[in-house]
Amino acid sequence: MALVDMDSTLPKRRMKAHSPQTKHDAEGYGLNREEANERRGAGWWVSLRRRGHKVVRLFKDSIYGSDEATYSAARAYRDAIIEAIPPATNHEQAVLLRKTNKSGISGVRRLETREGDVWQATLTTNDGSKRENFSVPKFGEAKAKSMAIEQRRKWLCALPVTHLAYAQHAADVAHEHFADDLIPVSDVMPETHLTDDEIEARIQSINDEFDKMRPKRLRIRVKYYHGSRLSVFVSDAGKPAKRKLVQINTRKLDKAEMLAAARSVVGATITEFYDADVARWFMDAHGDNLLTDRHFHVRQGFNVLVFLPTQLARH
């Protein structure tokens, strides 16, 4: 696995890997590339909305190692979300109450018209709008309202149930995973098949799982400071990260002894964070070379980030 020198890494300008024209297909739906800028490094954003819940997460190249690996992780996360949380159906949407609703029934309202007061039933679909008035003077207040509610109920019963997926990939996933959930609403009253708590729990579970799946890494920084002090910093670069900073007093040490002490601290800390196999791998592959009299420059030190080999990362 390649070693990354964090002090020499500079932002690079690259073309987007996926065209904006693909934003509504499987390759690009809910995904957006952000190149390195003054605020943060390059990465892929996942941005979705499911049943009123906005899901946003950034996958960084610095964590996954490359544009391609980051994109794969972001796409997998996007799919995990839309496979766990179905879009609302047109029936569920039709019975939601707006803040301005005064009747208690979506699509039913009382109006004053030239012909007199009426209770009006309405239903808007992709095929257009339906509207019918029921006269209060003719039928009476209660009867006119009841007739408007019944008319809206009939329209809903005749309306085929579909998922409100506004992108082809989202529609395909909904059809594959949630076809059995296309249940007509039982009444004209608001009805929800998934509560907010259930949705938030599913999102949190997916976030936790993807946190665990982040590539295992090591960040090692060794730097000499004036005043006879060698600073050794080790982190697993995780979320949350394990970190340890050790200051080695070098006043009575020659360079060879100082570097031996640094190697000991690095090896012991990696063993603490991971295990002895990971510590042995790092020292054999990188540490013993970086912390030699020939390669270690006292004034420069080093700051590196490495990705653990797959076979070790599974431990």
CA-to-CA separations, 156 to 26, 91, 102, 123, 124, in angstroms, rounded: 32, 7, 20, 8, 10
Same domain for 97 and 187:
yes
Mean pLDDT over each residue of the chain, to the nearest integer? 88
Number of domains in the chain: 3
Same domain for 309 and 242:
yes
Q: Which of 213, 19, 226, 180 is nearest to 86 (CA)?
A: 180
Q: What is the pTM of this model?
A: 0.74
pLDDT tens figures, 66-75: 999 999 999 9
Confidence of residue 313 (pLDDT cuts 50, 70, 90): confident
Tokens of residue 302, six digits: 């080093």
- CB atoms under 10 Å from CB of 58, counted, come to 16
The answer to whether residue 148 sits within a structural domain is: yes
Residue 179: predicted pLDDT: 86
Proportion of the chain above pLDDT 70, given as a percent? 89
Q: Which of 81, 84, 89 is nearest to 30 (CA)?
A: 81
Residues 21-32: what's their mean pLDDT? 77
Residue 248: predicted pLDDT: 94
CA distance 98 to 190: 11
CA distance 83 to 279: 39
Residue 290: predicted pLDDT: 94
SS3 of residue 66 by DSSP: coil
Q: Give the residue with greater pLDDT, 121 vs 95.
A: 121
Q: 75-84, 101-110, 180-189, 273-282: which range is least confident on average?
A: 180-189
Same domain for 102 and 50:
no
Residue 103, burial from CB neighbour count under 10 angstroms (0-12, 13-18, 19+): middle
User: Is 256 a residue whose pLDDT tops 50?
Assistant: yes
Confidence of residue 192 (pLDDT cuts 50, 70, 90): low
Same domain for 205 and 186:
no
Residue 177: predicted pLDDT: 92
Residues 186-213: what's their mean pLDDT? 86
The answer to whether residue 250 sits within a structural domain is: yes
The answer to whether residue 170 sits within a structural domain is: no
Residues 230-257: what's their mean pLDDT? 93
Half-sphere exposure of 222 (CA within 13 A, CB side): 21
Residues 130-155: what's their mean pLDDT? 95
Residue 7: predicted pLDDT: 45
Let me know: does 111 contact 117? Beta carbons within 8 Å.
Answer: yes
Sheet containing strand 128-135, edge to edge, reads 108-113, 116-125, 128-135
Q: Containing domain of residue 185, as a range?
A: 90-164+181-191
CA distance 97 to 90: 14
Residue 190: predicted pLDDT: 60
User: Is 27 a residue whose pLDDT tops 80?
Assistant: yes
Residue 16: predicted pLDDT: 38
The answer to whether residue 34 sits within a structural domain is: yes
Same domain for 186 and 97:
yes
Residues 151-160: what's their mean pLDDT? 92
Same domain for 94 and 47:
no
Confidence of residue 91 (pLDDT cuts 50, 70, 90): confident
Q: Which of 213, 241, 164, 165 is nearest to 57 (CA)?
A: 213
CA-to-CA separations, 229 to 28, 158, 253, 301, in angstroms, rounded: 51, 79, 10, 12
Residue 180: predicted pLDDT: 80
CA distance 266 to 282: 9
Residue 298: predicted pLDDT: 84
The answer to whether residue 169 sits within a structural domain is: no
Confidence of residue 181 (pLDDT cuts 50, 70, 90): confident
SS3 of residue 27 by DSSP: coil
User: Is 24 a residue whose pLDDT tops 80?
Assistant: no
CA distance 302 to 310: 25
Same domain for 148 and 67:
no
Residues 51-75: what's their mean pLDDT? 94
Same domain for 276 and 251:
yes
The answer to whether residue 44 sits within a structural domain is: yes
